[in-house]
């Protein structure tokens, strides 16, 4: 596919880093030459200096042959105009715009985005998506990742098999046998950075990360079995003064389970804004790693910290400090791969990766399959898709073994009549089945063709 990305900032970079892994022809347009030079050094893209909203720039890069335009600059108006130009002059089929301003995101104006007004096929707000991901993680304490399917009926969670895990050295089949009343499936294992589907004779080892699929109502029991179930957060400290921390705090302050909620920021204007607009939040202004400020925040009393500053290093170090102070659950936002070595060596820290969160929002719109939902797992090692068999589907009545999915791509669950099935090769698909599929990056194209409905 030919994809035009407008904006080489943190959001644009996160999109480019993911899309560049596949066989895509990517053009990056930005008004900052230094950013373009950095992007061009790191990724196989065509950098172009200029504004993505200008017709002459889009003409220069051959926009008439583009499949997708993703306008992801930090200016909402530029992004919206770029989509209009792409539609009117170049007939680009898929147009995605980053929009951050609340007045453009308000449900009051949702009729604004259509072919008759502003031709935007998908609006993304990365900061809101990151906030939503953090809130979902907090709703499943103990999970390193959590994804919902089938209107919330099914959940996929990632848990770490810690040293005291009673299932250490048991095979997958033994685990199922020991807990016959629990309906769940270990669908993927990540061990020492290598991911694979869990076979029945596979032994679970300490420090394995397991992706487990189950009905949402069964998830707490499953996590109790793996000894990773945690209490709901009661004392939370958020580090960072920005749209992510504001949106997260705005939702959390309505949570009756919370005893205390504090936001620590070194941005005076954000501190004032939060103090004015948030009512059940204590806002602390000062240097976030200062011992004095950390004492003011009573970090030693917190059970959860959320670090969402613009600097990965600060987020990771703040989580490290919190763990040293005895905080049991720490969440860090990471924006790039620069500190991967540090990321991997902070034990039990939960990572929220900007690139995978952002790309998860647009996967459904860029894949050539009619998907209900799609997410990027981990830090992009695979995708998980949700799709429904409709009346005109050629897959109805077929056994899974006849679909010819590529290696490392697998249907791991089927929701049928609100019940969850874990299919085998001879399971036949039925009308209205909802399929949950894990797709390896190198099998995306073949999977799209096999599932085309």
CATH number at residue 182: 3.30.70.1450
Mark whether 342 and 274 lie in a shared domain.
yes
User: Is 230 inside a domain boundary?
Assistant: no
Are 252 and 135 spatial neighbours (Cβ–Cβ below 8 Å)?
yes
Q: Over the stretch 277-294, which tens digit does the pLDDT of each residue have?
A: 999 999 999 999 999 999
Q: Which of 92, 124, 156 is the last residue of a domain?
A: 124
Weakly modelled stretches of the chain, pLDDT under 50: none
Return the pLDDT at 108.
61
* Helices and strands in the chain, H and E counts: 15, 22
Give backbone dihedrals phi and psi of 149, rounded to 5 degrees, phi first. -140, 165
User: Which domain range does residue 389 map to?
Assistant: 359-451
Q: Where are the alpha helices (DSSP H) in 281-378?
A: 291-296, 312-324, 340-343, 354-366
Residues 389 and 309 both lie in one domain: no
Does residue 120 sit in the same domain as residue 6? yes
- pLDDT for position 307: 97
Confidence (pLDDT) at 244: 95
Domain shared by 14 and 45, yes or no: yes
- Domain contains 337: yes
In a domain, 136, yes or no: no
Q: What does the alpha-carbon distance between residue 439 and residue 446 come to, in Å, rounded to a whole number? A: 10
d(CA 352, CA 344) in angstroms, rounded, equals 13
Q: Where in 253-319 does DSSP place strands (E)?
A: 260-265, 282-285, 304-307
- Confirm whether 291 is domain-assigned: yes
Instruction: Decide if 39 is inside a domain.
Output: yes
- Tell me whether residue 103 is in a domain: yes
Are 220 and 245 found together in one domain? no
Determine, yes or no, domain membership for 134: no
> What is the model's pLDDT at position 338?
75
Last residue of a domain, one of 322, 341, 356: 356
Same domain, 92 and 155: no
Residue 120 lies in a domain: yes
What does the pLDDT look like over 122-181, one tens digit per residue?
999 999 999 999 999 999 999 999 999 999 999 999 998 876 677 778 899 999 999 999
Q: Total domain count for the chain?
A: 4
Q: Which of 310, 333, 356 is the last residue of a domain?
A: 356
User: What's the confidence (pLDDT) of residue 20?
Assistant: 84
Together in a domain, 9 and 40: yes
Chain centroid to CA 232: how far? 21
Based on the domain organization, do 309 and 367 belong to the same domain? no
Residue 352 and residue 364 share a domain: no
Q: What pLDDT does residue 251 have?
A: 95
Please check whether residues 363 and 352 belong to one and the same domain: no
- Tell whether 252 and 164 lie within a shared domain: no
Indicate if 30 and 119 belong to the same structural domain: yes
Give me the pLDDT at residue 71, please.
Answer: 96
- The residue written with tokens 């290598």 in the block is 194
The number of beta carbons lying within 10 Å of the beta carbon of residue 372 is 14
């Amino acid at each position: 596919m030919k994809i035009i990305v407008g904006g080489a900032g943190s959001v644009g970079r996160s999109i480019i880093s993911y899309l560049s892994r596949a066989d895509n022809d990517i053009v990056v347009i930005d008004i900052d030459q230094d950013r373009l030079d950095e992007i061009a050094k790191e990724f196989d893209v065509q950098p172009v200096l200029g504004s993505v909203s200008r017709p002459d720039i889009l003409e220069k890069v051959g926009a008439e042959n583009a499949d997708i335009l993703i306008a992801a600059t930090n200016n909402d108006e530029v992004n919206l105009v770029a989509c209009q130009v792409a539609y009117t002059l170049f007939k680009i089929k898929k147009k995605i715009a980053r929009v951050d301003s609340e007045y453009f995101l308000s449900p009051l104006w949702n009729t604004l985005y259509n072919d008759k007004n502003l031709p935007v096929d998908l609006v993304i707000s990365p900061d809101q998506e990151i906030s939503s991901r953090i809130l979902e993680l907090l709703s499943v304490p103990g999970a390193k990742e959590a994804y919902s399917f089938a209107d919330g009926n099914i959940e996929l969670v990632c848990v770490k098999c810690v040293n005291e895990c009673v299932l250490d050295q048991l095979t997958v089949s033994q685990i199922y046998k020991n807990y016959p009343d629990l309906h769940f499936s270990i669908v993927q294992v990540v061990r020492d950075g290598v991911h694979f589907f869990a076979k029945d004779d596979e032994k679970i080892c300490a420090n394995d990360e397991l992706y487990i699929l189950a009905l949402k109502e069964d998830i707490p029991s499953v996590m109790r079995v793996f000894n990773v179930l945690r209490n709901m957060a009661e004392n939370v400290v958020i580090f960072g003064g920005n749209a992510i921390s504001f949106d997260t705090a705005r939702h959390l302050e309505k949570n009756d389970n919370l005893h205390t909620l504090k936001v620590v920021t070194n941005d005076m204007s954000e501190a004032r804004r939060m103090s004015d607009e948030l009512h059940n939040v204590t806002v602390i202004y000062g240097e976030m790693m200062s011992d004095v400020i950390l004492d003011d925040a009573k970090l030693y009393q917190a059970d959860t910290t959320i670090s969402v500053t613009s600097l990965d290093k600060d987020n990771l170090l703040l989580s490290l400090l919190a763990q040293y102070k005895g905080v049991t659950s720490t969440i860090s936002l990471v924006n790039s791969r620069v500190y991967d070595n540090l990321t991997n060596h902070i034990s039990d820290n939960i990572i929220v990766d900007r690139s995978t969160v952002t790309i998860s929002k647009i996967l459904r719109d860029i894949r050539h399959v009619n998907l209900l939902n799609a997410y990027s797992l981990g830090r992009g090692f695979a995708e998980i898709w949700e799709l429904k068999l409709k009346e005109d589907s050629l897959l109805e009545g077929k056994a899974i073994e006849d679909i010819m999915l590529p290696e490392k791509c697998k249907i791991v669950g089927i929701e049928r009549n609100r019940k969850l099935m874990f299919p085998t090769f001879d399971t036949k698909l039925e009308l209205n089945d909802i399929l949950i599929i894990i797709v390896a990056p190198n099998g995306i194209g073949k999977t799209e063709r096999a599932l085309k409905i």
